[in-house]
Chain A
């Protein structure tokens, strides 16, 4: 075992790397400059790009990014495998749909429901988590999976309230007071939605970063490393895990409300395990569990693959094989195979990353070492404690 380096003063870069977005000194400004430029570019994007469908794509990408950030809290920071993340997304969406549409003719304002639905989702997170977070990771995963299956099913069956299979249509859209020549109606215009999600994401990044460097964030890290030692050191593992779960759920619910209002309708099918929960998990795992930048990159990458690559690629391949004029290949319909391969790709990514590069694409330094070399995996409940 090495004795570590001889004591030396930490370089400025090392000290700043712990604070990422916080530095405001000269070096801090240099470090943050690229982010500022990025934010500027994002702000100008809809103005410079007149194609509103692209703005729409970006806005939807924002939803996935938000989901990935939320799941990252649960899986990445606290180390809890939640396979039913879609449930909270659904709860957020349906809460909004029920309370702000023609369904019951209740029309609570979007701006009130946004935080409210986050709160409702958090409550469900606590309800689900309270009895189950004491369980080992494996059981928690299955239970959350079950929950993630049950919730959309309940929504599908509770037709009088939730519109059953057809869902709820005609959901209210947000309104703002008129500014700068815009009448304030969101309507079906993706641009205001885009700016909204951009603001939400930037604020979320700040909040989550604060979380990570706080007493709570440290507690999550400790629990992830060695739950028994964490408990012995005075951390209430159950409430700490519950907080991770509830916070993750609230992000999901928040995203759900935004999504419902943007889409103008909700249907139960859009919230399945395969459609949402696994996709977000792949984003988090691919990008780098526990690392916000990584997770955002992962989200964008998977979103790109799913909504662009997998749709365009079959076409390209088919024309390529046709151009090559190899009979065997065209008969094989490689393009068709590619089109149907998203399950396979996700599975390969999940298993492959865990086996080959568990820290994900953009690891946090600590996580990288942790995952490669193992931690101590005892749950407090395993020890037959009181």
Chain B
């Protein structure tokens, strides 16, 4: 997704190496995706569904 748009940054975080981040984002299972520190996506979703959820901040507040 980062590849598709220069506004998008993708970070893969190894949760066990950074327990402070895992705690901060309340990671109790993986994969867990956190979008802009607010939206949580649990598990692996089909591509369209994942993008739908990941773009919630954009959809919610159209310019």
Q: Do A and B come from one complex?
A: no
